[in-house]
């Protein structure tokens, strides 16, 4: 069968690569794809972008199903558009995708269904927002309501920083429309984890646990980014924590969305803060797989991924299981100079063809082909991944890979997975 993956990042490279391993899969088209998906066996880039173009393409090529990588097409209603013409697509509807596309929607939903999360209020008036933070004190968290590619959150350790963030978003318009409303929420302490599941409207199939590294620099310093590296599994998610997340967070979302008349289908990602007692709190929902979490998670998936997605589309996720490698996986993101502010692009990337080991894999993101060279074309450029008998071993092998790769201005963290090793 032929499949379509929508997106151009490292996540989509990993999803498409894993889908293509199935003997049942003939071709995975990637729209638009990147320099990595261009050179991968059974993958084919296709330069289409509008919903209409994609629908026509799927009809013409008899695509068995489409998987949506990023949030933007979901929040623009691509699933609704495909479903209207009877095409199979795995993702949430535009309504359900509001769990990610509006922080205010997500917070109100969590409050209604008693899902543990930080206390909050929403503001579009700067004066009222300033008053609220004065009353609450710091640390406090200021979030743009709309989609901001992981960059719309300021964890303010001082009141000064909090006031600055409010002015940037509500007065200075720094986040555009996404920041014309802000959610101000209580500061949560603990350890973060990414909890990603597949949902078919009713049943849930959990993916392997993982942990991202959101800050740009070592020891969780510097600005927030889309994610600088990830590992799987996340030891902080013990069996007891896993059960709590399923019963207190995931199941209430599925039941709640169903009760609202908008059954949730697709990947659902709960960003968690797990406190010292093992109690999970929801920091955010994403209505898609995580990037870079996808890359190490896909390294570990041993099941036929196309069969899992078909089961989800048939609303039979309760009848399948996902098999994971006992090995751990670590992925280190290599980012362009000046990421996340204004990444510099165009540099030549070298050392990409040195992988000989089946336990190592470089997924491409902001990288494009130009004649016989691969050039930096975006903020997060590559994700160097490796499996290993332990997280420490996987880390060692991932950094071995990093050391072979070079481009001018390349930045990366040196401490990916250390939290799980200590
Ligand atoms: P978000 O985009 O909502 O996931 O937020 C980005 C990052 O900001 C998270 O991964 C956390 O590290 C941090 N963060 C968000 N909300 C909170 C909170 N209420 N308390 C502490 N840290 C937070
Ligand atoms: N890695 C965080 C995200 O995908 O939102």
**pLDDT tens digits, 265-281:** 999 999 999 999 999 99
Q: How far apart are CA 44 and CA 37, in angstroms?
A: 7
Ligand 2 atom closest to Cα of residue 284 = 5
Helix 103-112, helix 251-259: angle, nearest 10? 100
Confidence of residue 135 (pLDDT cuts 50, 70, 90): very high
Residues in the chain: 422
Q: What is the edge-to-edge ordering of all strands in the sheet holding 204-206?
A: 204-206, 191-200, 265-274, 280-286
Of 71-80, 142-151, 332-341, the poorest mean pLDDT is in: 142-151
Residues whose CB is less than 8 angstroms from the CB of residue 168 and which lie 6 or more positions away in sequence, other chains included: 174, 175, 179
Question: Which ligand minimizes its atom distance to the CA of 148?
Answer: 1
Q: Which of 344, 273, 283, 269 is nearest to 70 (CA)?
A: 269
- Asked whether 150 lines ligand 2 (CB < 6 A), one says yes
State the distance from the centre of ligand 1 to the C-alpha of 338, rounded, in angstroms.
22
In the predicted structure, residue 354 carries a pLDDT above the cut 80: no
Q: Residue 149 has what pLDDT? A: 67
Q: How far apart are CA 19 and CA 9, in angstroms?
A: 15
Of 118-122, 272-276, 346-350, the poorest mean pLDDT is in: 118-122
- For 8-67, the pLDDT digits (tens) are 999 999 999 999 999 999 999 999 999 999 999 999 999 999 999 999 999 999 999 999
Q: How far apart are CA 139 and CA 16, in angstroms?
A: 41
267 or 104: which leads in pLDDT: 267
Protein residue closest via CA to atom 5 of ligand 2:
290
Protein residue closest via CA to atom 3 of ligand 1:
284
Q: What percent of the chain is predicted at pLDDT more than 90? A: 90
Q: Residue 171 has what pLDDT? A: 85
- Asked whether 155 lines ligand 1 (CB < 6 A), one says yes
In the predicted structure, residue 150 carries a pLDDT above the cut 80: no
pTM for this prediction: 0.94
- For 55-103, the pLDDT digits (tens) are 999 999 999 999 999 999 999 999 999 999 999 999 999 999 999 998 8
State the distance from the centre of ligand 2 to the C-alpha of 242, rounded, in angstroms.
20
Q: Residue 422 has what pLDDT? A: 77
Q: Could you give the residue ranges of the DSSP H alpha helices within 268-405?
A: 294-300, 305-313, 391-404
Protein residue closest via CA to atom 13 of ligand 1:
155
In the predicted structure, residue 109 carries a pLDDT above the cut 90: yes
C-beta of residue 214 within 8 angstroms of C-beta of residue 194: no
State the distance from the centre of ligand 1 to the C-alpha of 286, rounded, in angstroms.
13
């Amino acid at each position: 069968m032929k499949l379509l993956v929508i997106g151009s990042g490292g996540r989509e490279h990993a999803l498409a690569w894993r889908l293509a391993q199935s003997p049942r899969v003939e071709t995975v088209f990637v729209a638009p794809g990147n320099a990595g998906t261009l050179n991968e066996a059974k993958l084919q880039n296709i330069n289409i972008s509008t919903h209409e173009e994609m629908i026509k393409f799927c009809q013409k090529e008899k695509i068995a199903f489409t998987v949506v990588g990023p949030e933007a097409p979901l929040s623009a209603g691509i699933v609704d558009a495909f479903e209207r013409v009877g095409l199979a697509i795995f993702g949430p509807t535009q309504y359900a995708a509001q769990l990610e596309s509006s922080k205010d929607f997500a917070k109100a939903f969590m409050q209604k269904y008693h899902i543990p999360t930080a206390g909050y209020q929403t503001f579009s008036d700067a004066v009222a927002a300033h008053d609220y933070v004065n009353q609450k004190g710091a640390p406090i968290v200021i979030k743009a309501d709309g989609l901001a590619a992981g960059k719309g959150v300021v964890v303010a350790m001082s009141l000064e920083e909090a006031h600055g963030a409010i002015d940037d978003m509500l007065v200075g318009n720094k986040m555009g429309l996404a920041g014309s409303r802000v959610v101000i929420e209580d500061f949560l302490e603990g350890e973060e984890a990414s909890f990603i599941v597949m949902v078919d409207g009713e049943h849930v199939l959990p993916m392997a646990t993982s942990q991202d590294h959101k800050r740009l620099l070592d020891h969780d310093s510097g600005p927030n980014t889309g994610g600088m590296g990830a590992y799987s599994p996340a030891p902080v998610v013990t069996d007891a924590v896993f059960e709590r997340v399923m019963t207190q967070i995931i199941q209430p979302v599925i039941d709640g969305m169903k009760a609202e008349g908008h059954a949730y289908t697709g990947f659902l990602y709960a960003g968690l803060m797990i406190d010292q007692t093992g109690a999970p709190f929801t920091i955010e929902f994403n209505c898609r797989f995580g990037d870079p979490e996808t890359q190490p998670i896909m390294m570990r998936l041993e099941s036929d991924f196309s069969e899992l997605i078909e089961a989800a589309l048939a609303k039979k996720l309760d009848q399948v299981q996902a098999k994971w490698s006992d090995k751990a996986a670590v992925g280190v993101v290599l980012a362009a100079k000046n990421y996340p502010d204004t990444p510099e692009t165009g540099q030549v990337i070298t050392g990409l063809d040195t992988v000989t080991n089946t336990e190592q894999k470089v997924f491409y993101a902001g990288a494009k082909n130009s004649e016989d060279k691969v050039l930096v074309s975006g903020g997060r450029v590559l994700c160097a991944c490796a499996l290993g008998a332990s997280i420490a071993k996987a880390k060692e092998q991932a950094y071995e890979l990093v050391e072979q790769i070079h481009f001018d201005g390349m930045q990366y963290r040196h401490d990916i997975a250390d939290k799980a090793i200590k």
